[in-house]
Structure 1
Amino acid sequence: MTPATDPLPLPPTVRLIATDLDGTLLRDDKSVSGRTVAALAAAEDAGIEVFFVTGRPARWMDVVSDHVHGHGLAICANGAAVVDLHSGGRLLEVRPLERDTALDVVRRLRDAAPGTSFAVETATGIHYEPNYPPFHLDPGATVAVAEKLLHEDGPGSAAPVLKLLAQHGELTPDGFLTLARTVAGELAAITRSSPTALLEVSGPGVSKASTLALCCAERGISSDEVVAFGDMPNDVEMLTWAGTSFAMGNAHPDVVAAASGRTVANNDDGVAVVIERILAAHAAGPRS
């Protein structure tokens, strides 16, 4: 049974909506419903900023490119990049994972979980090891061992690394995450958003939450004025940071525990349901 929208009280002032994409704003077929498109546009008409905050790289933002109105900024790669969607995904800011650190993580995961394969997401594209599941959306990727993919001839001579991906064919997703955080969690930020045993490794302190906090500070927006939505472990920090947050009806248990409220599933337009509540409260005027 799909959970109903949590009747969580909304903050008196909402200035920014931060929403994950896959499993949250997007339906399972990767479409954005008409109801959700209308809700996003209405929020901006009411003076509320909208930020897409996702693990996706900038080049995979075409799923929402037709629905970009004022909300032209997106936080991609779990906080490693701030992107201008109005200019075709131009990178405005990068918070990289140092290549030496990425190599240390590779070595530790290989020792702790033999059979792990790796991919490297850079500011210019994805590259992966021969045993890594191929990226059909990126046919031009380099295929080589991680040591070669992470090599650079000199400091700054190669594109910044946005995140390291680690995949295992036998471990459970949460088990792999726990193991990785145990053996390498002090080196980098490690999370996951896939239903498979696929981990995403970012620079220390880099997350959706930390980059969203920086963007909000630039705009004079406090966390209490932010409403956030998510469904997977890579959303936990953002949902904890935001003054009001909603786990989707289809969310991972850790996300449900972190969020201050719950809405219906992504296929039932859970983000739009809450935005409509926000706009109704906004139209009603200040609350006493």
Structure 2
Amino acid sequence: MRENGPVTSATRTSESSPAAVPPRLIATDLDGTLLRDDQSVSPRTVAALAAAEAAGIEVFFVTGRPARWMDVVADHVHGHGLAICGNGAAVVDLHDGPGSHRFVKVRDLARDNALDAVRLLRDAAPGTVYALEQTYGFHQEPGYPHLHLEVPDTLAPAEDLLSPGGAATAEPLLKILAYHAALEPDAFLTLARLALGDRAGVTRSSPSALLELSGPGVSKASTLALCCAERGIAPEEVVAFGDMPNDVEMLTWAGRSYAMGNAHPAAVRAASGRTAANNDDGVAVMIEKLLAELP
């Protein structure tokens, strides 16, 4: 099913008081948040997530990763819940285990918007190179660096991939990855947002100048809001964890939210609280505290 819809949020500072409503859902980012730097999920974190679900609290993984990179989570946490992938572009059911992920919701980037975004950003930042993430496919330009584990399905200019009949038009486009070798990451993010306007959502989760372009209004927060509305879960009943600019909207939207000890300053400003770093099991530390506070 394809859906698009906005989410509204108010600016929040790190001094805001957390909501006192008992949580019904935990939404956690993966890289730099739930996962340690070696991509492992600690035994303490596995136990904390299982304890949350045993207490009746649903767990959502909310990540910029594509669905095919979710096996690390399914392996270590036994297929808990749903994953919001591609910064909100898709919702994937993990319950059937590694290699059997089912797309529940797809919020794709329209081809015309994608072509406009590619051209506008290339004009604004010459030297930008692209890769394209689809529900199953992955394509990139010849000049795009080797940043990902897999071999691309196609090597071609993004304009050719997105043209009628191009390799990237056979299935939904979830996001565009835009890389620049010379620009500072946050400066590239600001430039891209100004250049693209409302043609695409722009964020980043990498320490390098690698941007992620999604459909207008598509973000971790907006897709999480849709999933929560379907379950009758209010924002104040959600606890969120994150560390990077692509988590900002989600950290702002959730009733309680925690930036990791290793978080980007934008995530710290957006969250209502702070927890330990990812390598120190910050998500588990806070879940244990939340469960201890339950009546």
- TM-score of the pair, normalised by structure 1: 0.92
Q: Structure 1's 158 and 106: CA in aligned 2 closer, same or farther, altered over 3 A?
A: same
Q: Aligned partners of 2:160, 2:169: CA distance in 1, in Å?
A: 14
Matched residue type, 1:266: N
Which of 57, 74, 90 is the matching residue for 2:102?
90
Which of 135, 152, 162 is the matching residue for 2:164?
152
1:66 aligns with 2:75: yes
1:95-123 superposed Cα distances (whole Å, 9 cap, x missing partner):
00011111101111111111000011011
Q: Aligned partners of 2:172, 2:44: CA distance in 1, in Å?
A: 38
Which of 201, 204, 222 is the matching residue for 1:189?
201
Which of 228, 235, 247 is the matching residue for 2:240?
228
Q: Aligned partners of 1:191, 1:20: CA distance in 2, in Å?
A: 14
Aligned residue pairs total 277
- Per-residue deviation, 1:134: 2.8
Identity of aligned residues (%): 71
136-145 or 211-220: bigger deviation: 136-145
- Per-residue deviation, 1:71: 2.4
Q: Aligned partners of 1:189, 1:227: CA distance in 2, in Å?
A: 24
Paired position in structure 1 for 2:33:
24
1:63-121 superposed Cα distances (whole Å, 9 cap, x missing partner):
11123446231000000000011232221110000111111011111111110000110
- Per-residue deviation, 1:139: 1.9
1:46-74 superposed Cα distances (whole Å, 9 cap, x missing partner):
00000000000000011111234462310
215-224 or 131-140: bigger deviation: 131-140
Q: Structure 1's 140 and 189: CA in aligned 2 closer, same or farther, altered over 3 A?
A: closer
Q: Aligned partners of 1:181, 1:157: CA distance in 2, in Å?
A: 24
Q: Indicate the RMSD between aligned Cα atoms, in angstroms.
A: 1.8
| 2:146 match: secondary structure | coil
Q: Aligned partners of 1:111, 1:157: CA distance in 2, in Å?
A: 23
Q: Structure 1's 7 and 159: CA in aligned 2 closer, same or farther, altered over 3 A?
A: closer
1:196-247 superposed Cα distances (whole Å, 9 cap, x missing partner):
0000000000000000000000101000000000000000000000000000
Which of 46, 57, 62 is the matching residue for 2:55?
46
The answer (yes or no) to whether the contact 2:58–2:81 under 8 Å persists in 1 is no
- Per-residue deviation, 1:187: 0.9
- Per-residue deviation, 1:280: 0.4
Q: Aligned partners of 1:136, 1:174: CA distance in 2, in Å?
A: 21
| 2:190 match: secondary structure | helix
Paired position in structure 1 for 2:44:
35
Matched residue type, 2:271: A
Q: Aligned partners of 1:250, 1:126: CA distance in 2, in Å?
A: 30
Q: Aligned partners of 2:234, 2:181: CA distance in 1, in Å?
A: 42
156-165 or 55-64: bigger deviation: 156-165
1:13 aligns with 2:25: no
The answer (yes or no) to whether the contact 1:96–1:161 under 8 Å persists in 2 is yes
The runs of 5 or more residues in structure 2 that have no matched partner are: 1-14
| 1:50 match: secondary structure | strand
Paired position in structure 1 for 2:185:
173
1:212 aligns with 2:224: yes
Detail structure 1 runs of 4+ shifted over 4 Å in the superposition: 6-10
- TM-score of the pair, normalised by structure 2: 0.90
Matched residue type, 1:141: D
Q: Structure 1's 35 and 171: CA in aligned 2 closer, same or farther, altered over 3 A?
A: same
| 1:185 match: secondary structure | helix
Q: Aligned partners of 2:278, 2:17: CA distance in 1, in Å?
A: 18
Matched residue type, 1:52: F
